Amino acid sequence: MKKHLMEKFINVFGNNKNAKVYFAPGRVNLIGEHTDYNGGHVFPCALSIGTYAVARKREDNLLRFYSTNFKRLGIIECSLDNLVYNKADRWTNYPKGVIWALKKKGYNVTTGMDILYHGNIPNGSGLSSSASIEILTGFVLKDMYNFSFDSIENALIGQFAENNYNKVNCGIMDQFAISMGKKNHAIFLDTANLEYNYVPITLENEQIVIMNTCKKRGLGESKYNERRAECEEALKELQSVINIENLGQLTEELFEEHKNAINSSVRTKRAKHAVYENQRTIKAVTALKNNDIAQFGKLMNDSHESLKNDYEVTGIELDTLVAEAQKAPGVLGARMTGAGFGGCAVAIVHKDYIDTFKTQVGTAYKEKIGYPCEFYVVDTSDGPTIL
Q: In terms of Cα–Cα distance, which of 112, 113, 116 is closest to 71?
A: 116
**Residue 221 burial (CB < 10 Å; 0-12/13-18/19+)?**
exposed
The per-residue pLDDT for range 100-142, each reduced to its tens digit, is 999 999 999 999 999 999 999 876 666 668 899 999 999 999 9
Asked if 66 and 75 count as a contact pair (C-beta separation under 8 A), the reply is: yes
Asked if 9 and 19 count as a contact pair (C-beta separation under 8 A), the reply is: yes
Helices (H), the chain: 2-13, 93-104, 129-145, 151-164, 173-179, 224-239, 252-258, 265-289, 293-309, 316-326, 354-369
Helix (H, G, I), strand (E, B) or coil at 13: helix
Q: In terms of Cα–Cα distance, which of 292, 272, 37 is closest to 175?
A: 37
Q: Name 49's Cβ contacts closer than 8 Å, sequence gap at least 6.
A: 25, 26, 120, 121, 127, 376, 378
The per-residue pLDDT for range 278-328, each reduced to its tens digit, is 999 999 999 999 989 999 999 999 999 999 999 999 999 999 999 999 999
What single letter denotes the amino acid at residue 309? N
The per-residue pLDDT for range 268-277, each reduced to its tens digit, is 999 999 999 9
Provide, rounded to the nearest whole percent, the portion of the chain with pLDDT above 70.
97
Q: What is the pLDDT of residue 225?
A: 82
Q: In terms of Cα–Cα distance, which of 77, 100, 69 is closest to 167?
A: 100
Residue 174 appears among annotated catalytic residues: yes
> Which residue ranges make up each domain of the chain?
2-201
Average confidence score pLDDT of the chain = 94
How many whole angstroms from its chain centre is CA 20? 25
Per-residue confidence band for 220, with pLDDT thresholds at 50, 70 and 90: very low
2-201 has which fold? Answer: Ribosomal Protein S5; domain 2 (3.30.230)
Average pLDDT over residues 212-234: 80
pTM for the full model? 0.90
Q: How far is CA 272 from CA 229, 279, 330, 353, in A?
A: 15, 11, 31, 35
Catalytic residue of the set 174, 302, 352, 379: 174
The per-residue pLDDT for range 171-215, each reduced to its tens digit, is 888 999 999 999 999 999 999 899 999 999 878 899 999 999 998
The per-residue pLDDT for range 327-349, each reduced to its tens digit, is 999 999 999 998 888 889 999 99
